[in-house]
Amino acid sequence: MERLEDRIRRLIVETLNLEDITAEEIDEDEALFGDGLGLDSIDALEIGIEIQKTFGVKIDSKDENLASYFASVRELARFVSRQQTQERAE
């Protein structure tokens, strides 16, 4: 079974149509924004929409921790995993 981090890396590359980098080249702890991968707020919106559709989780735009969830692939994977666990419990 494919790891969640690998699925998220592939989702980022496919959603944003990145041509200069492959999913395997994105380090799990690399910053997705700023000096890291260099993504911007529009990219975050596109990724967020695709994360919700692909993994069936809800992203609350008013969540004060939202930026930290999108800090890296590893943090996104943790967020998705927590959300899926919470939604199963409800």
Count of structural domains within the chain: 1
Is the pLDDT at 1 greater than 70, yes or no? no
Q: Structural domain of residue 15, as residue ranges? A: 4-89
The per-residue pLDDT for 85 is 87
Residue 21: CB partners within 8 Å, gap ≥ 6?
13, 37
Is the pLDDT at 88 greater than 90, yes or no? no
The per-residue pLDDT for 89 is 76
CA pair distance 25, 36, nearest whole angstrom? 12
The pLDDT tens digits of the residues spanning 16-59 come to 999 999 999 999 999 999 888 999 999 999 999 999 999 999 99
CATH of the domain at 55: 1.10.1200.10
